[in-house]
Chains A and B, each alone.
Chain A
């Protein structure tokens, strides 16, 4: 059983709205990464947080933002949703170089 929990599992939003996705990591995993996976494609790196600070970012616009909390939970916020934001959003936490992924949140933008 994965130690990374994501919520909600599914979500439908309207174009232009804002969404917050949540991830709960295993205790001690102080690095968390977020990925976007479009249907039929590999995951694409959005950003990474280490000890509550962003320390890496992929090619995503500023309307994608995040937070990491001291209790090893984190959030991905997306503003001004676009249809192309429809995807599976994955978070991954790491300990000693091994990355464990959650089951993801399926976001549909209509």
Chain B
């Protein structure tokens, strides 16, 4: 069974204090790993898709990396507006029609 876990469950950072969020996954044939940001009461907002181990993608203060077992979302010099829940999801080849398996998310709070 496909599984996604995320750590930490919650993270509080001071503005400018860089850190990383972890997403560990177990899937039979990874088609893609997705990172989403979700603000309270809103739907997830797409950030990145990673397809193969070693791949990296960047967007502003965020950088996502992928290995065969986990993905990291690195946040450099975060600002209060980066506060949100960050969700990781996997999509497998064999159940492409089954869509995503999401992790529980990491709630990030960035204090001014």
Contacts and interface: CB of A to CB of B under 8 A. Distances in A.
Interface in A2-58: 2, 4, 6, 33, 35, 40-45, 48, 50, 55-58
A42 B87 contact: yes
Interface residues of A, number: 29
Contact of A45 (B34, B42, B100): B100
Contacts of B101: 45
A84 to B, nearest CB: 17
Contacts of A104: 41-43
Interface stretch (B14-22, B58-66, B67-75, B91-99): B91-99
A85 to B, nearest CB: 18
B110 to A, nearest CB: 20
Contacts of A41: 104-105
B99 A106 contact: no
Nearest to B103: A42
B102 interface: yes
Interface of B: 4, 32, 34, 36, 41-46, 49, 87, 89, 95-105
